[in-house]
Amino acid sequence: MKVYMNGEFVDAADAKVSVFDHGLLYGDGVFEGIRLYDGCVFKLDEHLERLEHSAKAILLNIPLTRAELSEAVCEACRVNNLKDGYIRLVVTRGVGSLGLSHKSCKNPGIIIIADKISLYPEEFYEKGLRIVTSATRRINPAALPPMVKSLNYLNNIMAKADAGLAGCLEAIMLNDQGYVAECTGDNIFLRHKDRWATPPFHAGALKGITRGAVLDIMNDEGIQAVETNLTRYEVWTADEIFLTGTAAEIIPVVDVDGRTIGTGLPGDTTTRLRALFQTRARTDGTRI
Ligand code: PXG
């Protein structure tokens, strides 16, 4: 495997960052996780826009244009002979002195890893996930806006550990007001009767690319969906729930905190949306 590092492709074994990189020292940097389907990068422009916004929010200048980044992502897929895979695009603050100030870091580091993807086993799509609410709250936007996809993922890692301790693969994270924000690496959608809902960004949700694509599909299909604050009560009493994320795509949830959701089986709309999403993912992307 070859990894893109600051304009060059190097062998995976030589793809190393300095111990003085603030990405390592402070989690100072931003990233994207992107999918390659059948030789096409899904929603590449949307991912690059989110990366630019994350970087802008933390005063990080990405030294490449959108077009140059786009070309580097496609080249990383070509160099590794990939048709399907997962692309991790990282921009670190770069090497600096041992102090918090970002100003000592003159050269941001750009890393692109394009690799095969390990997916959730198919049985979770057939039977649905059991999830729990984590006691770890999503970070307050006044501390660090959760819309910034930063290299500091400890908040989510703590919640993912809570999920694991409860024997689950995902967990719901509430914001500090007690409203549902999202899961540790996925956005959440739920249905009451014929109305779907997902938390708004201001509740602490990442502007998920899959979330956006699913809202578009729902709109095209005439499926009613709103962005609104949700409580645990609305989660427990939902008729249908699914999660969205680049890795998971659309995955059904059948149990939350021991409460069975709907019939306890993946819902019909979830199954239909997943099929529609998979078709779109394979036809809509940027050809490498
Ligand atoms: N919320 C959070 C906190 C995320 O990190 C999503 C929602 C879903 O967004 P997208 O744009 O993917 O639809 C994410 C992103 C991984 C991995 O390696 C995935 C994410 C984050 C970090 C790692 O699977 N999901």
Tens place of pLDDT per residue across the chain (288 aa): 999 999 999 999 999 999 999 999 999 999 999 999 999 999 999 999 999 999 999 999 999 999 999 999 999 999 999 999 999 999 999 999 999 999 999 999 999 999 998 888 999 999 999 999 999 999 999 999 999 999 999 999 999 999 999 999 999 999 999 999 999 999 999 999 999 999 999 999 999 999 999 999 999 999 999 999 999 999 999 999 999 999 999 999 999 999 999 999 999 999 999 999 999 999 889 999
What domains can be seen in the chain, in order of their start residue? 2-115 (3.30.470.10), 122-285 (3.20.10.10)
Measured between alpha carbons, how far is 69 from 73 in angstroms, rounded to an integer? 6
- Ligand 1 centre to CA of 206 (Å) is 8
> Which residues line ligand 1 at a C-beta cut-off of 6 Å?
33, 156, 182, 185-187, 206, 208-211, 244-247
Q: Is 172 helix (H, G, I), strand (E, B) or coil?
A: strand
Measured between alpha carbons, how far is 84 from 285 in angstroms, rounded to an integer? 12
User: For residue 178, which of 215, 216, 233 has the smallest C-alpha distance?
Assistant: 233
User: For residue 171, which of 131, 137, 128, 130 has the smallest C-alpha distance?
Assistant: 131
Q: Is 43 a catalytic residue?
A: no
The pTM (predicted TM-score) of the whole model is 0.96
